[in-house]
């Protein structure tokens, strides 16, 4: 994860869920995957799209995701939460009751800020991580992905700079690109973002006359690196951000999925006035409801609500009540504990299989939570070029370049342990190790 100040625009995958468009053939082994090109000959509007829309790139690996979803392929590529354990009968009962008793309310338009009831529940959820919040400072969003979109929309103009982790969540990079901003990656080590790198890169960017709008970070079990910031590191990062008068955007979808211990303090709880916090029910309940939130100081909240109203009028009312009802009527914390046990077994299986099978010189992160392991391969192996060959050997992953805005990550791979069974993870890692060995000719 070395540093660079070089800023370029790269196509980034637009999805993180492993879904595919349609069946596609496996690209010929040995061929590099080039960006998916759309034939615009018959699009009579082809010359009218906004410059901003040109920043929305098709995933260079999307065609492979279609293949990766075939049952014979072990996909370690997507980031779909494993919700097989959810009590669907309870959810079904509470949805029926909602329609029967409050149908006229839950199917009506609602507040642009989000319904008061869910905002209260959101504060109870954040309190589990030690974050004390006022429901009036919460704006409900359509997943934390929309939180990212709204925050970028209210703060950024084209050409503005956003500081981000290296590597950084692909969905955030895509949102930032869609607002024509430029990302400068901050170095990371095993304890997370390196404060000195943040100071240096912001200072250089400002000396170059750039407007640096915020730092984007996932302090807990980051996607894709799996790294968590130590408490001391959190303090140092916040101190540097304050010294630089830099807003911090904390994205925390995996904060309650600690596989090895208690949650660490959120950045927001450590510096309430200078942090905008993004949360989500996608990993602790279910992503299909698309309920997330932003916790922000009141002036920022006002802007977010205006942006939300212009984007959607209001976040989905039915979903908000559905999530409220689940939280009120089900022991959701016990459910999160059950998710944690399931993910821990999968994480442990992946780490043990990597240790058993990967050739010497390969290194990987050891996440204490979340969904992902970040692998660095030896030599000059190009993970994007290797992917078609891996798929022919019936294993898929996400190449590291997806997680950088500046073209780095060629020797890296993101492996997810959230979805496949432990048995499939073991088989997938064995197959991957075989492919890496072939690349190395050993
Ligand atoms: N941030 C991060 C770091 C993520 O990994 C994801 C989902 N993959 C999101 C935000 C978006 O999640 P959602 O919109 O489902 O809340």
168-207 pLDDT tens trace: 999 999 999 999 999 999 999 999 999 999 999 999 999 9
**pLDDT, averaged across the chain:** 90
Asked if residue 226 has its Cβ within 6 Å of ligand 1, the reply is: no
* The two three-digit tokens of residue 341, written as one number: 């046990």
Q: What are phi and psi of 100, to 5 degrees?
A: -65, -40
Ranking 19-23, 345-349, 394-398 by mean pLDDT, the lowest is: 19-23
Residue 223 alpha carbon to ligand 1 centre in Å: 9
pLDDT at 197: 98
Rounded to an integer, the average pLDDT of 100-114 is 96
Dihedral sign for Cα atoms in the order 177, 38, 144, 164: negative
Ligand 1 pocket, residue 145 CB under 6 Å: yes
Rg, Å, the chain Cα set: 21
Return d(Cα 258, Cα 152) in angstroms, integer.
Answer: 28
Pairing mode, strands 412-416 and 372-376: antiparallel
pLDDT tens digits along 45-85:
989 999 888 878 766 556 666 777 789 999 999 899 999 98
CA 416 – ligand 1 centroid, Å: 14
Task: Please check whether residue 1 is in contact with residue 167, taking contact to mean a CB–CB distance below 8 angstroms.
Answer: yes
Q: What is the mean pLDDT of residues 130-152?
A: 98
Decide whether any atom of ligand 1 lies within 6 Å of the 169 Cβ: yes
Q: Which atom of ligand 1 is nearest to the CA of 371?
A: 5
CA of 45 to the centre of ligand 1 (A): 32
Band (19; pLDDT cuts 50, 70, 90): very low
**Residue 318, helix vs strand vs coil:** helix
Kindly state if the Cβ of 167 falls inside 6 Å of ligand 1: no
pLDDT for position 60? 54
pLDDT at 11: 38
How do residues 306-363 score in pLDDT, each as one tens digit?
A: 999 999 999 999 999 999 999 998 999 999 999 999 999 999 999 999 999 999 999 9
Q: What is the pLDDT of residue 57?
A: 72
The predicted pLDDT at position 55 comes to 77
Decide: 224 in ligand 1 pocket, CB within 6 A: no
SS3 state of residue 434: helix
Q: Which two tokens stand for residue 397?
A: 């992953």
Helical segments of 40-115, H only = 51-54, 62-68, 88-106
382 pLDDT exceeds 70?
yes
Q: How far apart are CA 174 and CA 225, in angstroms?
A: 17
* Gap from CA of 49 to ligand 1 centroid (Å): 27
Q: Tell me how many degrees the CA angle 297-238-155 measures, rounded to the nearest 5.
A: 45
Q: Which pLDDT value is given to residue 304?
A: 98
Distance 229 CA to ligand 1 centre (A): 18
Residue 262 predicted with pLDDT over 70: yes
CB count in 10 Å sphere of residue 210: 16
- Is the minimum distance from the CB of 315 to ligand 1 under 6 angstroms? no
Task: Kindly report which listed range (21-35, 162-176, 252-266) carries the lowest average pLDDT score.
Answer: 21-35
Beta strands in 207-354 (DSSP E): 212-217, 247-251, 275-280, 292-295
Burial 84-96 (b: 16+ CB within 10 A, else e): eebeeeebeebbe
36, pLDDT greater than 70: no
The answer, yes or no, to whether residue 10 has pLDDT greater than 50, is no
If you measure from the C-alpha of residue 210 to the centroid of ligand 1, how many angstroms do you get, rounded to a whole number?
A: 28
Is a pLDDT exceeding 70 seen at residue 42? yes
* Per-residue pLDDT, 68: 74
Q: Is 223 in the pocket of ligand 1 (CB under 6 A)?
A: yes
Structure tokens at 299: 């002036």
Is the pLDDT score of 8 beyond 70?
no
Q: Are 191 and 141 in contact (CB under 8 A)?
A: no
Q: Ligand 1 mean position to 46 CA, how many Å?
A: 31
d(CA 320, CA 298): 21
Whether ligand 1 lies within 6 angstroms of the CB of 16 is answered as yes
pTM confidence score: 0.91
């Amino acid at each position: 994860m070395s540093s660079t100040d070089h800023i370029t625009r790269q196509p980034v995958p637009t999805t993180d869920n492993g879904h595919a468009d349609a069946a596609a053939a496996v690209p010929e082994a040995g061929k590099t995957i080039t960006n998916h090109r759309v034939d615009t000959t018959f699009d009579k509007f082809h010359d009218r799209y906004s410059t901003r829309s040109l920043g929305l790139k098709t995933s260079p690996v999307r065609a492979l995701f279609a293949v990766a979803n075939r049952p014979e392929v072990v996909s370690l590529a997507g980031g779909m939460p494993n919700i097989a354990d959810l009590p669907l009968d309870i959810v079904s009962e509470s949805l029926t009751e909602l329609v029967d008793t409050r149908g006229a309310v839950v199917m009506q338009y609602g507040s642009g800020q989000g319904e008061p009831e869910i905002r209260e529940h959101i504060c109870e959820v954040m309190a589990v991580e030690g974050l004390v919040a006022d429901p009036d400072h919460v704006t409900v969003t359509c997943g934390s992905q929309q939180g990212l979109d709204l925050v970028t929309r209210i703060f950024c103009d084209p050409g503005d700079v956003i500081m981000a982790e290296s590597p950084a969540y692909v969905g955030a990079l895509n949102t930032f690109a869609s607002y024509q901003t430029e990302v400068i990656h901050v170095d990371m080590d095993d304890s997370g973002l390196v404060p000195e790198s943040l100071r240096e890169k912001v200072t250089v960017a400002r000396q170059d006359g750039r407007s640096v709008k915020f730092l984007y970070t996932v302090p807990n079990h980051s996607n894709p690196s799996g790294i968590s910031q130590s408490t001391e590191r959190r303090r140092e990062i916040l101190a540097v951000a304050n010294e630089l008068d830099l807003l911090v955007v904390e994205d925390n979808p995996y904060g309650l999925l600690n596989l090895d211990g208690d949650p660490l303090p959120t950045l927001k709880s450590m510096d309430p006035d200078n942090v905008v916090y993004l949360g989500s029910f996608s990993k602790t309940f279910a992503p299909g409801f698309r309920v997330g939130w932003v916790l922000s100081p009141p002036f920022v909240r006002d802007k977010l609500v205006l942006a939300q109203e212009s984007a959607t009028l209001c976040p989905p009312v039915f979903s908000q009540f559905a999530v409220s009802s689940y939280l009120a009527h089900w022991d959701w914390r016990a459910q999160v504990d059950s998710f944690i046990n399931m993910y821990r077994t999968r994480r442990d299986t992946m780490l043990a299989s990597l240790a058993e099978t990967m050739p010497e010189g390969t290194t990987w992160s050891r996440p204490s939570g979340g969904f992902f392991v970040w692998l660095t391969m030896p030599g000059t192996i190009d993970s994007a070029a290797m992917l078609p060959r891996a798929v022919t050997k019936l294993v898929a992953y996400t190449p590291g370049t997806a997680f950088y805005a500046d073209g780095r990550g060629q020797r890296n791979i993101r492996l997810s342990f959230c979805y496949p069974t432990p048995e499939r993870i073991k088989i997938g890692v064995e197959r991957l190790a075989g492919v890496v060995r072939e690349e190395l000719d050993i």
